[in-house]
Structure 1
């Protein structure tokens, strides 16, 4: 594995294979995407704010740490971004960096905006300055649609963000579209709905739920504190979603796509099924705490992934029940 400044310890001379730059390689999606691209024969360069001190535990868990070149890059600093894009000269860039928690965005709105909006702008401007043929994927979010009601949203549905995170993702989405139309860049956004895996951190409610259920099953005398369970989301499997990211950059023309399963369930359903996996009744082990309610939250979001199904030939195969089972199995084994 290579750390540090580009051009010193890293040899970028190899031109026989495609090179991908994954911004935010240490996260859930970054790690799975790195694994996918390595399997496809790519040379993978991954960024982190400080590559020398980042443990990259997700890459290690997937057994690919030694195969990914890692470099330090501050996504919110244009000169840092341009320096890395210029020295690595990737064929494809995947923008998965920036704050990824809706709840946390209320606590750190400035950091959220800088990482997502300025970070996306810095990448787009760097491509324009260095090599305009570089293809870029931007990780968007189904949260941008906000309160959409029972009708499944499509790519042409209006955005109505309900959190600083969703506002930032909406702005980044619009930036990508603007650069695509103004400069002819191959820039696209995947409007990603919720997608989970064992690599999720515990600040995500899904991970919190399955870990608590596993702990209680193992004998811990504890209560799980939860917020509003009457919210509805579309939950898929992260490994399938990174394949959609790659497919977007292989198309003849750049476009934006909704990536989702097409099935929406309540958070209460998620909790019930997770506890049922361990033969527990969730109502015996949970408490609703107003402190966990978000200041503003979209209650019902459902998605229509038909465009991705048809044009990318991509389709989610892991439904929410299987997602829950896999997460619970992993939580049980990790104890």
Structure 2
């Protein structure tokens, strides 16, 4: 038999190449997802916003030639979630089989300062991308992942939170994401699109943005360890979050798009820790035990052995409307996707502190 006529050759010819398009590719989740998909043989396309300086630090190592920014299996396109024409052009030319909408103005506190922009990008941006798929006639060919968020639960109506827990958003970010959540479901039901929401609880890593509380803590602890900083200022120490590792969570995103039917899933660890506990765990990584004194805005954290004050509360970091407790129930994902988190809370903190010590040792101004 001629090898070209063999069943294997025929199936290889007919098998569609996997092509992923990622918004937010330069972010924490986008970089981990790109690594993951490239390892699975995908061709990965990412949408990046134009900037006067390179903003691809998290994905530079994925270029075919990082020193020249030469593309290989990862290809980048200029576009924006608030520019529908750019989205239509990119979707039309790339013809992806999977789209991961990770792009967003994703900082909850800052969304109060940029409320209109947050709505335009996070809410209407999702609509623009869904419409781009339909404009290009690809609604039957593309599987669409929408990055939803545990912030949708806000003032929680039950503990823990699952796929059926009522939403009560408490920020412009959460309210914008609520629209994106429902428009994704609407397009799924109205146009029979394979479109899903991943309701991901907090997920961190050494690649987390510098102004998110977990990264702020690990960066400061690293600087304290290297004698580059004295004190860490934080907002609410009592807020509790369900913290996992971004590297684990992006696998869940992918699994949702491989599932037989389009469904929404909560992705979480099922355990919650306070900001105070995160601080304790981070300082333990540099051999320091923190003792807490006082209450509310007067609470401070001291080193047990020296009495040096390392943590103070600054009201400027309080949100206008706080979210006190988020803890997810990932049972559906465990049962239907066979997904479970691999990284423990302690392991997450350990990895982040170690990475930031190395970073600050090389560049104290990073």
Q: Find out whether 1:84 has 2:90 as its counterpart.
A: yes
Contact kept? 1:28, 1:199, Cα under 8 Å: yes
Q: Find out whether 1:306 has 2:331 as its counterpart.
A: yes
Deviation at 1:17, TM superposition (A): 2.1
Distance 1:212 1:61 in 2: 26
For residue 268 of structure 1, what is the aligned residue in structure 2?
Answer: 276
Contact kept? 1:24, 1:47, Cα under 8 Å: yes
For residue 129 of structure 1, what is the aligned residue in structure 2?
Answer: 135
Listed as ranges, the gaps of 5+ residues in structure 1 are: 1-14
Question: Does 47-56 or 212-221 show the bigger shift?
Answer: 47-56
Report Cα offsets for 1:46-101 as digits up to 9, x if no partner.
Answer: 11112785331000256776431000011111111111111111001000011111
Question: Secondary structure of 1:302's partner?
Answer: coil
Deviation at 1:281, TM superposition (A): 3.2
Distance 2:210 2:117 in 1: 20
Contact kept? 1:18, 1:42, Cα under 8 Å: yes
Q: Find out whether 1:145 has 2:153 as its counterpart.
A: yes
Deviation at 1:149, TM superposition (A): 6.0
Q: Find out whether 1:186 has 2:211 as its counterpart.
A: no
For residue 215 of structure 2, what is the aligned residue in structure 1?
Answer: 207
Listed as ranges, the gaps of 5+ residues in structure 2 are: 1-14, 291-300, 303-309, 362-366
Task: Identify if the C-alpha distance between structure 1 residues 52 and 21 changes in structure 2 by more than 3 Å, giving closer, same or farther.
Answer: farther
Contact kept? 2:82, 2:121, Cα under 8 Å: yes
Question: Does 34-43 or 273-282 show the bigger shift?
Answer: 273-282
Alignment TM-score, normalising by the size of structure 2: 0.85
- Written as runs of structure 1 = structure 2, the 5 A alignment for 1:1-335 is 17-50=17-50, 53-61=53-61, 66-67=71-72, 68-130=74-136, 131-133=138-140, 134-148=142-156, 151-282=159-290, 283-284=301-302, 285-334=310-359, 335=361
Report Cα offsets for 1:149-193 as digits up to 9, x if no partner.
Answer: 661011011100011111111110001011111111000010010
Could you list the structure 1 runs, at least 4 aligned residues long, displaced by more than 3 angstroms after superposition. Answer: 51-55, 61-67
C-alpha RMSD of the superposition: 1.6
Task: Identify if the C-alpha distance between structure 1 residues 150 and 173 changes in structure 2 by more than 3 Å, giving closer, same or farther.
Answer: closer
Contact kept? 2:35, 2:62, Cα under 8 Å: yes
Q: Figure out how many residues of one structure are paired with residues of the other and give that number.
A: 321
